[in-house]
Chains A and B, each alone.
Chain A
């Protein structure tokens, strides 16, 4: 992040519906020009937070600044934000050009300037030739583009997107993800994007806030979240993660000695602050960071960074091979992803294997 003042500052934002609190004390600062995602399962409060930014919902407490201006008491129609709705909310009585130009009528532009802006927006989202189409003649992808153009044409300081890709099929969704990212770079507007799809969030975002039950669990870059998850929930939410239960045996700065019970002591590094000797914890291992060797008991990395077991499942996926390794003393099989760089032998089911990993690959997280 740069030293420029953030475009959006949320401080202590709380939202209650009756006796139900859906947002607890949210603090987020979003940088100018950033592609920022709110990621979480349905009901985590991400859409409510987006609607508070838009001014459709009012927070029960806390303050919201957009471009340095306090937004308390500013209605949705006077905020420098525009939204792409999950249902797209295309106005059914208007054609494509009238839909896109809807917001411009409120901006006191000359007729020629307004139609130039509409034409520009139509070209930007690649809807050329469809300006006279009625809303009901459009496909899902086209509706999505109309919704996007209708919001962007107003030149908001912040564009809010509420799961805009969830209604599209997989192929179109992946195509639109790339287009959306390219569009954001070209217009340079700050995007705040709500999604429940972790892969989508990783693909698109500069930074992601992972939300659960109305709280932000962790806010970081996609890489930071993947490599340094600070809690079990984040570790499990982003990608695949093996979690070995146990206790903290000893802490020495970053290095943690982890007591995995029957599996003995393993080495790891601290994934979160506040780990104390004796506390319940998990050792988290990414499947692609594990190495698999034939024959038991001959792992290279040494006793603190290896386990042995046998192959319970093997799936050949072309570019990689997914294994499930059953380790005596663990309830859940360990997932191991091996890259198929060519000529990699597939271990047969039931074969005894050993796993090991590099120093620093094991992350100790509080339970």
Chain B
């Protein structure tokens, strides 16, 4: 009776260590006064952070990734909102195949998508590779995620809410702006965050479709050959870790608020 919970506790601790241990080593070594990421620790320093800020190519890659992720998530969410509305509001003929079709990028390996897009962009469209082609590829893979998040949010509505808004004198566009969008806002924010993180972190498509400029994942991969560059990478990684934690907490707070206002919609 006593041993079983002990074993389970041990399992849980190991599980958490396995999940987060490697990630948590990163901020640890980023503060260690040594070029090499090894124990024993030598002492506390912030010089890796200073080096990182001085590293112009790395900062350029970071800026590229932030810009691409922002553009991509805005575009995918903007594209997904009307699609989610159409699929949840109307009885469209062939709605099920349309949804499956839009979800397809989820299950196609990104290497396949990357090669296919490369061929299309170079051979059929005759465009030069650039950050814009990366962004276009990212919109393709973010769209199904944004669509799923938005559809699950929009499906819960009482359809008479929109009828009531219409009845009270709103045109369909006013109803969207004053009722549907505010009610869908927690879903929209989740969609924006999800799209941002997926694009920011994506490697394969960015690697294939980028031109002369790098996104951050591609740049970091290229720097792994130089051990002395590693601490700067660790410093940047730690900052991104903190940034993502803040974003996730923010998203969760907003989602909780959304759940509260949802309960008000139940009748």
Contact = CB atoms under 8 A, between A and B. Distances in A.
Interface stretch (A22-30, A86-94, A238-246, A257-265): A86-94
Nearest to A79: B167
A54 interface: yes
Given A92-B265, A136-B261, A85 B163 contact: yes
A157 interface: no
Contact of A134 (B165, B262, B264): B264
Given A76-B163, A92-B261, A93-B261, A87 B169 contact: no
A326 interface: no
A367 to B, nearest CB: 41
A8 interface: no
B34 interface: no
A82 B167 contact: yes
Main secondary structure on B side of the interface with A: helix
A77 B162 CA distance: 11
B170 A77 contact: yes
B256 to A, nearest CB: 14
Given A134-B264, A136-B261, A136-B263, A89 B169 contact: no
A211 interface: no
A76 to B, nearest CB: 5
Chain A's interface size range is: 20 to 34
Most chain B CB within 10 A, of A89, A107, A154, is at A89
A106 B174 CA distance: 9
B168 A87 contact: no
B53 interface: no
B95 interface: no
Contacts of A15: none
B163 A77 contact: no
Contact of B161 (A86, A89, A154): A89
Contacts of B164: 83, 85, 89, 91, 150
A77 B263 CA distance: 28
Interface in B226-265: 260-265
A83 B166 CA distance: 10
B163 to A, nearest CB: 5
B179 interface: yes
A93 B259 CA distance: 11
A56 interface: yes
Contacts of A88: 267
B31 to A, nearest CB: 45
A136 B160 CA distance: 17
B168 A103 contact: yes
A76 B178 CA distance: 17
A135 interface: yes
A75 B163 CA distance: 11
Contacts of A135: 264-265
A91 B168 CA distance: 12
Interface size class of B (residues with CB under 8 A): 20 to 34
B163 A106 contact: no
Contact of B179 (A54, A85, A91, A150): A91
B158 interface: yes
A43 to B, nearest CB: 18
Given A77-B169, A77-B170, A89 B263 contact: no
Nearest to B168: A103
B21 interface: no
Nearest to B265: A92
B55 to A, nearest CB: 46
B259 to A, nearest CB: 11
B199 to A, nearest CB: 29
Contacts of B169: 77-78, 103, 106-107, 154
Interface in B119-178: 158, 160-161, 163-171, 174, 178
Interface in A258-277: none
A86 B161 CA distance: 11
B170 A92 contact: no
Contacts of A237: none
Contacts of A89: 158, 160-161, 163-164
Contact of A77 (B167, B183, B265): B167
Contacts of A167: 267
B261 A76 contact: no
A321 B167 CA distance: 48
Contacts of B211: none
B232 to A, nearest CB: 46
| Among B161, B164, B174, B178: residue with most chain A CB under 10 A | B164
23 contacts: A56-B163, A76-B166, A76-B167, A77-B166, A77-B167, A77-B170, A81-B167, A82-B168, A83-B164, A83-B167, A85-B164, A89-B161, A89-B163, A91-B164, A92-B265, A93-B182, A106-B169, A134-B264, A136-B263, A150-B164, A151-B167, A154-B168, A154-B169
Interface of A: 54-56, 75-78, 81-83, 85-93, 102-103, 105-107, 134-136, 143, 150-151, 154, 167
Given A87-B160, A93-B182, A106-B174, 11 more contacts: A76-B163, A76-B167, A77-B171, A78-B169, A90-B264, A92-B265, A93-B183, A102-B165, A136-B260, A143-B267, A150-B164
